């Protein structure tokens, strides 16, 4: 991986915000939030968990209210405006308080232990930490074959046009310093294409980053929200948008030291 060297001060972070978008996730939220909170607490990571109910029609909000009574670090929020995966994440980012942020899924697909590893690498001075399921040490469990094929093709396309070796750009589970989030605004992707807008902007704008292997498993309950047929043009639009910035903005948006 063509990662970069740490560029920020070491051990300067004080609070980790985990932002989790949730739409109709009543069956998965309790184990996701409880496991995450327990792992962060055991590892001594100061944290808040910002779960955004993105227009759910089930009991997602009621589940969050019940969890709040037992987990003070939980900060539930309701996105009452336009819905969409990307909009929910931006809504959560705007309401989070941490100087570091991890974006995580609500369906138990991401490993809470990897969130701790992200935090430790951010503390070493990296601006971003990207997880990859497709490097040595990483892995996937029960990944639908069609989605896996489309994923690998999409990531190959991104690697070629941007000239990077990051091979899992489309994965949402990543970590950023607050300075990166603010430095990548405005964030414009309203749907799952935000998962590529953020890391590509961070790389193009000159923030330091590294990659670690992570594990992913398919959801145990609920229904997947990503619809491949709906997302192709949206991913392409965001890739072209950031590609134009990379090659034609003359560095106007790059990180200033």
The model's pTM: 0.93
How many domains, in total, are found in the chain? 1
The answer to whether residue 137 sits within a structural domain is yes
What span, in angstroms and rounded, lies between the C-alpha atoms of 67 and 65?
A: 5
The answer to whether residue 140 sits within a structural domain is yes
On whether the CB atoms of residues 238 and 35 are closer than 8 A, the answer is no
The answer to whether residue 257 sits within a structural domain is no
CATH number assigned to the domain comprising residue 65: 3.90.550.10
pLDDT in tens, 210-255: 999 999 988 666 565 555 566 688 999 999 999 999 999 988 999 8
pLDDT in tens, 61-119: 999 999 999 999 999 999 999 999 999 999 999 999 999 999 999 999 999 999 999 99
The answer to whether residue 118 sits within a structural domain is yes
Rounded to 5°, the CA angle 97-110-103 comes to: 25
pLDDT in tens, 34-73: 999 999 999 999 999 999 999 999 999 999 999 999 999 9
What span, in angstroms and rounded, lies between the C-alpha atoms of 22 and 105?
A: 8
DSSP state of 82: S
Residues 6 or more apart whose Cβ sits within 8 Å of residue 74: 33, 37, 48, 49, 51, 64, 67, 68
Tell me the C-alpha to C-alpha distance, in Å, between residue 152 and each of 41, 132, 134, 159, 197: 35, 12, 9, 10, 17
Helix pair angle (228-248, 194-204), 10° resolution? 20
Q: Three-class SS of residue 20? A: strand
Domain of residue 176, residue span: 16-248
What span, in angstroms and rounded, lies between the C-alpha atoms of 198 and 234?
A: 14
The answer to whether residue 10 sits within a structural domain is no
What span, in angstroms and rounded, lies between the C-alpha atoms of 17 and 21?
A: 13
φ/ψ (deg, to 5) at 138: -95, 175
Average pLDDT over the chain, rounded to an integer = 93
Residue with tokens 């990483």: 138
């Amino acid at each position: 991986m063509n990662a970069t060297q740490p560029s920020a001060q070491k051990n300067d972070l004080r609070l980790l915000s985990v932002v989790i978008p949730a739409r109709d996730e009543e069956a998965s939220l309790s184990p996701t939030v409880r496991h995450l909170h327990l792992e962060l607490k055991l590892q001594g990571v100061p944290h808040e968990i910002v779960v955004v109910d993105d227009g759910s029609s089930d009991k997602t909000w009621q589940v969050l209210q019940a969890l709040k009574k037992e987990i003070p670090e939980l900060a539930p929020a309701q996105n009452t405006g336009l819905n969409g995966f990307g909009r929910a994440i931006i809504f959560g980012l705007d309401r989070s308080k941490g100087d570091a942020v991890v974006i995580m899924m609500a369906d138990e697909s991401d490993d809470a232990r990897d969130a701790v590893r992200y935090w430790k690498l951010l503390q070493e001075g990296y601006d971003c930490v990207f997880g990859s399921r497709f490097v040595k040490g990483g892995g996937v469990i029960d990944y639908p074959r069609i989605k896996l094929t489309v994923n690998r093709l999409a990531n190959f396309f991104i690697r070629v046009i941007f000239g990077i070796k990051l091979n899992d750009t489309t994965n949402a589970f990543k970590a950023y310093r607050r300075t990166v989030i603010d430095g990548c605004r405005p964030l414009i992707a309203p749907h799952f294409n935000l998962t590529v807008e953020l890391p590509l902007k961070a790389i193009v704008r000159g923030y330091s980053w590294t990659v670690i292997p992570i594990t992913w498993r398919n959801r145990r309950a609920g229904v997947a929200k990503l619809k491949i047929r709906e997302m192709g043009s949206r991913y392409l639009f965001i890739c072209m948008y950031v590609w134009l910035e990379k090659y034609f903005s003359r560095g106007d948006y790059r990180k200033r030291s």
